[in-house]
Amino acid sequence: MSPLENVQRPSLTIVGGGPGGYEAALVAAKLGATVTVVERAGLGGAAVLTDVVPSKTLIATADSRRRVMKAPALGVKLDTEAIQTDIQAIDRRLLQLASDQSRDIRTALERRGVKIIIGEAKLTSDKTVAVTTPEGTETVTSDAILLATGASPRELPTAMPDGQRIFNWKQVYNLTELPEHMIVVGSGVTGAEFASAYNLLGAKVSLVSSRDQVLPNEDPDAARVLEDVFTRNGVNVVSRTRANAVTRTENGVQVELSTGEILEGSHCLLAVGGVPNTQNIGLEEVGVQLTESGHIATDSVSRTSVPGIYAAGDCTGVFALASVAAMQGRVAVAHLMGDAVQPIKHHLVASNIFTSPEIATVGLTDAQARSDQYQVDEIKMDLTTNPRAKMADVSEGFVKIFARKGSGTVVGGVIVAPRASELIYALALAVTHKLHVDDLANTFTVYPSLSGSVAEAARRLHVRG
Ligand SMILES: Cc1cc2nc3c(=O)[nH]c(=O)nc-3n(C[C@H](O)[C@H](O)[C@H](O)COP(=O)(O)OP(=O)(O)OC[C@H]3O[C@@H](n4cnc5c(N)ncnc54)[C@H](O)[C@@H]3O)c2cc1C
Ligand SMILES: NC(=O)c1ccc[n+]([C@@H]2O[C@H](COP(=O)([O-])OP(=O)(O)OC[C@H]3O[C@@H](n4cnc5c(N)ncnc54)[C@H](O)[C@@H]3O)[C@@H](O)[C@H]2O)c1
């Protein structure tokens, strides 16, 4: 039940203006709440200013260059040796795009009547937040609070970024030249995406991967495809090795590896995970419970341990995705305002890794499919036989579908392909609405199209009635 059942026009303070915060603010204002957003940097949060938007824009440019470099194989005559990457122009464009998007979000919030305070917030009770601005400290009082403070790059004491040669993912957009040799440390999603992007932009790239395979938490078949592509494209994947330290040299960097070897490069990007922004913001004092990893503990409707205080996004440790942060924020507001609440269903989340090829997933994972907990049939269809893939010279990728044994209900899938982020929507619809493999198989697809492989894979899972 909402803690504000009888309040006519409840007030809500939101700490953090990223997707977890600003989406909630828009919905709450629309439902009639008086909303204040406190943000210390800029609207849109890290997602817009330093993480999703800049990295995906960089990747869009890298992908354009990839297609140009491949054009001769399709009969377009051009001198690929003469193609240059103007990293300063690329970075300028992506930062401008991020700043424009942040401005658009601010405008949308203001139009809905949301009050915005640029300042550093600290919880002082279950109803009050102290906000420090250059002008001083003010107290904002409200009926409820939503914490959406996000996360920050994890730092290794022996590899401190200097923003010139050694970077975390937020600092890498002020390069004066394309790195001659970029060493990416960490082969999770962030590391894999940046390794792919700089490789396609024409830099020499080494990827220090502490695990057996890149993308250790992802679908193993997809990770294998990506690792093969990396190797074929000349990325130096240093597997089962940790970076113990990173130091500056006169003209570059030295990465000391756990094998004792030294890797020399011109620049180093640290992609070793994130830590939630939950320290020194008054959480313990007010009784907001944290998990062992330092995230804010929440339930399926985004409530924390303190009635009236909600949390959403990366500070909660539930999937670190912008889409999930926004959904958690919307769910919190629906609960607070007594609107219909649909608790978040983790098994329905769709996500995408923006490497080349892209890797999109939804629903049941490969590991879950192989566990005793689920009885599933599985099909994996390579794209090499797909006519559209042949026409576009797509030489790797696949569609994988998991369906419940016996019933044929679609419960998960993986797509590795160019623009897999768009193709996965069909599987996401199927998983969310419990469609049958025959529903996918009997839906017309365009000929020729990559989505034809989705229908074909489903056809192969047909259960005879
Ligand atoms: C390189 C990279 C690429 C990514 N790409 C994708 C992608 O393609 N797709 C995707 O879905 N996800 C992606 N993610 C994940 C995505 O960025 C996060 O899941 C998303 O930003 C979470 O939103 P949030 O609102 O929780 O936090 P944030 O976006 O981090 O926003 C939190 C905000 O809170 C503010 N704040 C913190 N503490 C205070 C305080 N005390 N007072 C005032 N303000 C405060 C911060 O300034 C920040 O602006 C990526 C992450 C990284 C690192
Ligand atoms: N496309 C997207 O949606 C997208 C993009 C980027 C990040 N994200 C989100 O951000 C979250 C975090 O991803 P991430 O990749 O930043 O972090 P991560 O924690 O998933 O990966 C970090 C990797 O670095 C490795 N590592 C740590 N210390 C190391 C060392 N000293 N040497 C070598 N390797 C080391 C870890 O073993 C781990 O594999 C993901 O769960 C994802 O949801 C999403």
What DSSP string runs through 392-419?
TT----EEEEEEETTT-BEEEEEEEETT
CA distances from 410 to 22, 438, 446, 454 (A): 33, 10, 21, 12
pLDDT at 437 (0 to 100): 98
Is 159 within the bounds of a domain? no
Q: Which residues line ligand 1 (CB under 6 A)?
A: 15-21, 38-41, 45-47, 51-52, 55-56, 120-121, 148-150, 169, 190, 277, 281, 313-314, 320-323, 325, 354
Query: What is the pTM for the complete model shown?
Result: 0.97
Looking at residues 423-451, what average pLDDT do you find? 98
CA distances from 123 to 12, 17, 129, 271, 370 (A): 13, 16, 5, 30, 44
Which residues does residue 133 pair with via DSSP β-bridges, in sequence order?
136
190 and 246 belong to one structural domain: yes
The helix/strand/coil state of 26 is helix
Looking at residues 286-311, what average pLDDT do you find? 98
- What distance in angstroms lies between residue 314's CA and the mean position of ligand 1's atoms? 6
Instruction: With a cut of 60, say whether residue 209 has pLDDT above it.
Output: yes
Strands lying side by side in the sheet with 128-133: 120-123, 128-133, 136-141
- What distance in angstroms lies between residue 316's CA and the mean position of ligand 1's atoms? 11
The helix/strand/coil state of 118 is strand
C-alpha to C-alpha distance for 383 and 387, rounded to whole angstroms: 9
User: What is the atom index within ligand 1 of the atom nearest the CA of 131?
Assistant: 42
Identify the residue whose C-alpha is closest to ligand 1 atom 4.
52
Q: What is the mean pLDDT of the chain?
A: 96
Closest CA to 61 of 180, 178, 144: 178
pLDDT at 447 (0 to 100): 98
pLDDT at 252 (0 to 100): 97
Number of continuous H segments (helices) and E segments (strands) in the chain:
13, 23
C-alpha to C-alpha distance for 299 and 143, rounded to whole angstroms: 20
Instruction: With a cut of 80, say whether residue 4 has pLDDT above it.
Output: no
pLDDT at 329 (0 to 100): 98
C-alpha to C-alpha distance for 350 and 414, rounded to whole angstroms: 10
318 and 258 belong to one structural domain: no
179 and 262 belong to one structural domain: yes
Identify the residue whose C-alpha is closest to ligand 1 atom 30.
150
Stated as kind and residue range, the H or E segment containing 152 is strand 151-153
The helix/strand/coil state of 237 is strand
175 and 321 belong to one structural domain: no
Question: What whole-number percentage of the chain has pLDDT above 70?
Answer: 98
Query: At 245, is the pLDDT very low, low, confident or very high (cuts 50, 70, 90)?
Result: very high
Is 241 within the bounds of a domain? yes
- What distance in angstroms lies between residue 191's CA and the mean position of ligand 2's atoms? 6
C-alpha to C-alpha distance for 397 and 374, rounded to whole angstroms: 26
Would the CA dihedral through 199, 202, 206, 208 be positive or negative? negative
Looking at residues 377-387, what average pLDDT do you find? 97
Q: Which residues line ligand 2 (CB under 6 A)?
A: 156, 185-191, 193, 208, 210-211, 216, 242-243, 271-274, 319-321, 351-354
Looking at residues 177-197, what average pLDDT do you find? 98
User: Between these two residues, 5 and 297, which has the higher pLDDT value?
Assistant: 297
Domain around 116 = 11-52+90-153+275-346
Q: What is the CATH number of the domain that holds 428?
A: 3.30.390.30
Instruction: With a cut of 60, say whether residue 223 has pLDDT above it.
Output: yes
Instruction: With a cut of 80, say whether residue 456 has pLDDT above it.
Output: yes
- What distance in angstroms lies between residue 217's CA and the mean position of ligand 2's atoms? 9
144 and 131 belong to one structural domain: yes
Strands lying side by side in the sheet with 181-185: 166-167, 267-270, 181-185, 204-208, 236-238
C-alpha to C-alpha distance for 310 and 331, rounded to whole angstroms: 10
Residue count of the chain: 465
Identify the residue whose C-alpha is closest to ligand 2 atom 27.
272
Q: Which of 243, 272, 301 is the last residue of a domain?
A: 272
Is 176 within the bounds of a domain? yes
Of 37, 38, 48, 51, the one to substitute when testing ligand 1's pocket (max ligand atoms within 8 A of C-beta) is 51
What DSSP string runs through 38-102?
EESS-TTHHHHHTSHHHHHHHHHHHHHHHHHHHGGGGT----GGG----HHHHHHHHHHHHHHHH
Closest CA to 457 of 382, 365, 384: 382
71-90 per-position pLDDT tens digit: 999 999 999 999 999 999 99
327-354 per-position pLDDT tens digit: 999 999 999 999 999 899 989 999 999 9
37-66 per-position pLDDT tens digit: 999 999 999 999 999 999 999 999 999 999
Is 240 within the bounds of a domain? yes
Instruction: With a cut of 80, say whether residue 212 has pLDDT above it.
Output: yes
C-alpha to C-alpha distance for 325 and 317, rounded to whole angstroms: 10
pLDDT at 94 (0 to 100): 98
pLDDT at 180 (0 to 100): 98
Q: Which of 302, 321, 346 is the last residue of a domain?
A: 346
HSE toward the beta carbon, residue 265, CA cutoff 13 A: 26
131 and 48 belong to one structural domain: yes
Is 369 within the bounds of a domain? yes
258 and 176 belong to one structural domain: yes
Query: At 8, is the pLDDT very low, low, confident or very high (cuts 50, 70, 90)?
Result: confident
Is 5 within the bounds of a domain? no
406 and 260 belong to one structural domain: no
Longest alpha-carbon distance in the chain:
72
Question: What whole-number percentage of the chain has pLDDT above 90?
Answer: 95
* Burial of 78: CB neighbours in 10 Å, binned 0-12, 13-18, 19+: exposed
Task: Give the total number of structural domains in the chain.
Answer: 3
150-175 per-position pLDDT tens digit: 999 999 999 999 999 999 999 999 99
178 and 221 belong to one structural domain: yes
Is 148 within the bounds of a domain? yes
Of the bound ligands, which one is closest to the alpha carbon of residue 193? 2
Q: Which of 244, 272, 300 is the last residue of a domain?
A: 272
448 and 305 belong to one structural domain: no
417 and 390 belong to one structural domain: yes
- What distance in angstroms lies between residue 285's CA and the mean position of ligand 1's atoms? 24
User: What is the atom index within ligand 2 of the atom nearest the CA of 322?
Assistant: 3
293 and 337 belong to one structural domain: yes
Query: At 1, is the pLDDT very low, low, confident or very high (cuts 50, 70, 90)?
Result: low
Token pair of 66, please? 């990839």
Is 286 within the bounds of a domain? yes
Q: What is the CATH number of the domain that holds 235?
A: 3.50.50.60
Query: At 7, is the pLDDT very low, low, confident or very high (cuts 50, 70, 90)?
Result: low
C-alpha to C-alpha distance for 299 and 30, rounded to whole angstroms: 24
Quickly count: other Cβ atoms within 10 Å of residue 45's Cβ. 29
- What distance in angstroms lies between residue 50's CA and the mean position of ligand 2's atoms? 16
Q: CB of 330 within 8 A of CB of 23?
A: yes
